[in-house]
Amino acid sequence: MRPSLRPGTCLLALALLCTLLGPGCPLSCEVCKGSGPTCSGKVRRCEAGKDACVVVVGESSTKGHQALNTYKACMRFSDCYSGFVSTTTGPKDYMVSNTHCCQSDGCNRDSVPPPLNNRTENGLQCPACIAPFQETCPGMQAVRCVGQETHCIYFAGNVQAGIINPKFAMRGCATESTCYTKAGAEVPSASYFYLLSRADCLPAPQASGQAE
């Protein structure tokens, strides 16, 4: 009789096999979405081309209605930015998030700290607008930048929300970290992925009435 392998030995052998096979062995990530500073869900195999796990914890405000959400999923590592991001598109419209990207099975099961939300104006400003279901927005109004926001962004594309993937366009203030995002990238938020067709990022000018 051949000796049977222990379960731990089988798992170790499988992990070693995946390491040797490289791209031929798909990554597995926890997948979930929920309100609050964490969420939990099943660990699922990633689809082809998605070689990273991501966890995002974000605070958002829409017309003053605030929410804290967590999102975990698979994504392309080349699109993933680990760190803090802040965007402001109006006095009561903003999104701040902490993101962590990793590349081992189930590595996004742990959460990340909720982002610090510094709403103190920093003397810069940007054109601002939000246009759901549109490809462009004019940015006729200006918004004051806050905290670490030092750049103006103009993002447009599609919200990856399932069967319906509506268009969107937005302009406003953002942290310099958003400048790493390029057109064609899938960008995670604490609720959805955004597939960007436009990703412009420029240094923000001084606000009107501010000393140089």
Strand partners, 159: 194
Please indicate, yes or no, if residue 2 is contained in any of the structural domains: no
Neighbouring-strand partners of residue 142 = 127
Tell me whether residue 8 is in a domain: no
Q: How many structural domains does the chain have? A: 1
Residue 21: inside a domain, yes or no? no
pLDDT in tens, 9-31: 433 444 444 544 455 578 999 99
Q: 212 in a domain, yes or no?
A: no
> Per DSSP, what are the bridge partners of residue 29?
44
Structure tokens at 72: 């975990």
pLDDT surpassing 90 at residue 167? yes
Cα-based distances in Å from 48 to 5, 23, 25, 52, 179:
31, 9, 10, 11, 27
Q: pLDDT tens across 134-153, in order?
A: 999 999 999 999 999 999 99
Range from 9-13, 108-112, 128-132, 147-151 carrying the lowest mean pLDDT? 9-13
How many beta carbons lie within 10 A of that of residue 20, not counting itself?
9
Containing structural domain, residue 193: 27-203
Phi, psi of 11 (to 5 degrees): -65, -40
The CATH code of the domain that includes 141 is 2.10.60.10
Q: What global pTM score does this model have?
A: 0.83
Judge whether 11 lies within some domain. Answer: no
Residue 12 lies in a domain: no
Q: Tell me how crowded residue 208 is: count the other CB atoms within 10 A of its CB.
A: 8
* Neighbouring C-alpha atoms within 13 Å toward the C-beta of 94: 25
Is residue 5 a part of any domain in this protein?
no
pLDDT at 192 (0 to 100):
84
Q: Does the residue 210 lie in any domain? A: no
pLDDT, mean of residues 35-51? 96
